[in-house]
Amino acid sequence: MSNKQVARDLDISDGTVKQHLNAIFRELDVQSRTEAVYLLAKSGVTIG
């Protein structure tokens, strides 16, 4: 989902979504959603 779609679903601003994503990316030491999903899948985490 896009940041706008997530924001709309959660009734928050897309800026807030970006801030949370950036915090997650820092914790996982990745640069994108794609890298995060790859890292988590490689670690055995199921998504969806």
pLDDT tens digits, the chain, 48 residues: what are they?
999 999 999 999 999 999 999 999 999 999 999 999 999 999 998 877
In a domain, 34, yes or no: yes
Dist. CA 2–CA 18, nearest whole Å: 10
What is the rounded distance in angstroms from the CA atom of residue 16 to the CA atom of residue 42? 28
Q: Tokens 């994503």 label which residue? A: 21
Q: Which domain holds residue 9?
A: 3-42
| Tokens representing residue 3 in the block | 């940041």
Residue 33 lies inside a defined structural domain of this protein = yes
Could you tell me if residue 47 is inside a domain? Answer: no
Select from 20, 29, 28 the least CA-distant residue to 45: 28
Q: Domain count of the chain?
A: 1
